[in-house]
Amino acid sequence: AKKWINIRKSYGNFYKVPSNQTKLTIMLENLGMNYDGRPHSGLDDSKNIARIAIRMLQDGCELRVNERMHAGQLMTVSSSAPLEGAPAPYMPRYRN
């Protein structure tokens, strides 16, 4: 992968929280969610990150590529860069 969405950066920017509030368990807690699965399990971490991304989309966030690799260097992508690829899928809002 040469381009990706760093969910921690997106979360911090969207909800206007400092970087010390973007650890996985803290993000879930702040969104009123519990961690599902075993901590530090790659699969369970991925599922929980997906749950955060879905919630962010439901809250109106437009997730964008915000990091990339160029010539072996990690680079931040400007938030004003145009969206890439297909538009985000329609995410219906569900009431709890």
3-state DSSP helix/strand/coil percent for the chain, to nearest 5?
A: 40, 10, 50
Spatial contact of 17 and 30, defined as CB atoms under 8 Å apart: yes
At residue 39, the pLDDT reads 85
Domains of the chain: 3-76 (3.30.420.10)
pLDDT digit string, tens, across residues 49-94: 999 999 999 999 999 999 998 888 788 887 655 444 445 445 556 5
Give the span between the Cα atoms of 62 and 88, in whole angstroms. Answer: 8
Q: Which residue, 83, 15, 85, is CA-closest to 55?
A: 15
